[in-house]
Amino acid sequence: MDLVPFIHFEKQEGLLCAQHALNALLQGSYFTAVDLATIGQKLDERERAVVGSSTALQQGCNYDDSGYFSIQVIQEALSVWDLELIPWRSEEAADARDHPENEVAYVCHLDQHWFTLRKFSVPWRWYNLNSTQSTPILVSETYLGMLLSQIQNENYSVFVVRGTLPTCEADQIAPTLPNPSTAPNESPTAFSGQGYSLVDNDTENGIIDNEDDEEIQLAKAIEASLQPQEKSVDMDEMRRKRLARFG
């Protein structure tokens, strides 16, 4: 049994990666582009009130019509759930650098692209939820730190997500599934009349199962990252909280 069918995942639409990254993190359709634009507009107005009406601020710094949203917009959106984004290289993130698998999620950013790495309940169920991929990609706890180091080498900004994420169906199912790295592999039956290759047929065709060889997982996750249901949380209640905060 695979966890992927239970994961909320949004494929890239236009330049709405910030929306996709937030909804992947929260595991639900909590935010639309309009919601985030409203937050960005209020932040711009707040900043203009503090520093004056320069040309740059008149144009706005926190969002634009292309679908870009700043880190301030992302952080403000997550504040509804008391979630914080901690820069990877900060002193507060020292524990994450030592044991990245112990965190709940990471939000990554380069230029105008955002994506999320998220854990589902257990340390061996990390997934790359980059919206430029066709599906969530499993990242083993062994290679999570290597992936984070690699994307930083490609000049991504990495933020540690601190706080309690909304509970989702995938979080509830993940502990019931075996650890992919320890699950026994099915051996081919000798003389069954079926031929076996040293290279898996799916791999030859460019299709790799989410729970295949860890090195293949890592390579695929890095490559995808660098490219330009029912929920236990009451969605209506969350929207009311958001509207109460942002208007």
**Out of 17, 23, 62, 168, which one is annotated catalytic?**
17
Nearest Cα to Cα of residue 118 among 14, 13, 221: 221
How would you class 55 by CB atoms within 10 Å of its CB: exposed for 0-12, middle for 13-18, buried for 19 or more?
exposed
Number of Cβ within a 10 Å radius of residue 17 = 25
Q: Where are the alpha helices (DSSP H) in the chain?
A: 17-26, 33-51, 55-59, 71-78, 94-98, 141-153, 169-173, 201-204, 214-226, 235-246
Question: Collapsing DSSP states into helix, strand and coil, what is residue 157?
Answer: strand
Judge whether 130 counts as a catalytic residue: yes
Asked if 116 contacts 24 with a C-beta cutoff of 8 angstroms, the reply is: yes
Asked if 18 contacts 36 with a C-beta cutoff of 8 angstroms, the reply is: yes
**Out of 23, 62, 128, 130, which one is annotated catalytic?**
130
Judge whether 23 counts as a catalytic residue: no
**Out of 8, 20, 109, 113, which one is annotated catalytic?**
113
Q: What is the DSSP letter of 12?
A: -
d(C-alpha 98, C-alpha 186), whole Å: 35
Q: Which residues are catalytic?
A: 17, 113, 130
